Amino acid sequence: MKLDKPTIIVFGATGTVGAEVLKLLSKNNCFVRGVLRVPERKPPIKLNGFNQNISYVSANLNSKDQLRTICKEADAIFLLTATSPSQIIYETNIIEVAEELSIKKVVKLSAPVVPKTVFVEVSDWHRRIEKVLQKSSLDYCLLQPHSFMQNWERNTFTIKYFGKIFGVMGEAERNYVDARDVAEVAVKYLLRNEALNREAIVLSGPEALSNACMAERLSYVTGKKVVYKDISREEFLKQLTKKAKLPEWLARHLVEIDLLAKKHPEPKTDTIESILGRKPRIMNAYLQESREKFLPNKWMFFR
């Protein structure tokens, strides 16, 4: 006999959004399976005998057999695999297995729709995955957030040790939404009793900010001068690949989203309040909470 509690599979359970989704679901009346693509990865919630509604499973996302096993008897899926050139294959495999197993609903974390005149490679990956969902028989919704506040943690090194933010965004502004707000929206739809109706839901934060504005706010929060330096596309790519050692696809993506902000103005208001019935988290609060991440390690000055 099937229990009343739904079973929800959380892919990307150790990621910025996925970990928050898992934590929120753990406090609700459901069973949660967090998927670890790398078995050695530390899970977001340590199992201690009191959180018996949570379990972890590991799977090779190239293997449909393994996916069938971990998705067995599931009611809903939070679809998020690590952003990479393999994402289309991974998420297509999951969608096909979900359809085969007649899983009731899929909530996919996607990306904002960009104008046809602008190419953003990662957004294109998401559009291709969305087409697979559209051709399926699944009930689903797409969450399309703007930039996460937490993505600023990619810039901690240059902010900590050089007091600089680099980019090619000029004076353009980008909308930022807190990943925890996105997770809360995801959980709302995962636990929803009504059909998802294949809805695409744009998620934006409370304001759009330029890199120069972010430099001012970081200066105030950290107590040290931070400035924004606009550089050429070629120089930024070189910094990201040669100095930061990022994969070429990720370096290209960071350049592309800077240029997107210049070509396509982002919203200055949020959509979170209408969905969750409360005000969204604000950037100043995120920066205060994350202050230590932008400060140099004290031991560096005592070597």
Q: What domains does the chain contain, in order, with CATH numbers?
A: 7-148+177-203 (3.40.50.720)
Long-range contacts, 266-269 (Cβ 8 Å, 24+): 266/146, 266/173, 266/174, 266/175, 266/204, 266/208, 267/146, 267/175, 267/204, 267/208, 268/173, 268/175, 268/207, 268/208, 269/204, 269/206, 269/207
Mean pLDDT of 136-154: 97
Inter-residue contact 65 to 38 (CB < 8 Å): no
Proportion of the chain above pLDDT 70, given as a percent: 97
What confidence score (pLDDT) does residue 290 get? 97
As a whole number of angstroms, the distance between CA 91 and CA 111 comes to 14
Kindly report, residue by residue over 13-53, the tens digit of the pLDDT: 999 999 999 999 999 999 999 999 988 888 888 888 777 89
- Name 260's Cβ contacts closer than 8 Å, sequence gap at least 6: 114, 118, 120
Question: Could you give the strand order of the β-sheet that contains 54-58, starting from the edge strand earlier in sequence?
Answer: 54-58, 31-36, 7-10, 76-79, 105-109, 139-145, 199-203
Summarize pLDDT for 49-93 with one digit per residue, the tens: 777 899 999 999 999 999 999 999 999 999 999 999 999 999 999
- CA dist 131 to 141, 143, 203, Å? 13, 15, 20
This prediction has a pTM of 0.94
> The sheet that has 208-210: what strands, in order across it?
147-148, 173-177, 208-210
Range from 2-6, 253-257, 295-299 that averages highest in pLDDT: 253-257
- Residue bearing the bigger pLDDT, 1 or 98: 98
Query: pLDDT tier at 4 (50, 70, 90 boundaries)?
Result: confident
pLDDT digits 0-9 by tens, 283-297: 999 999 999 999 987
Nearest to 266 by CA among 169, 186, 198, 199: 169
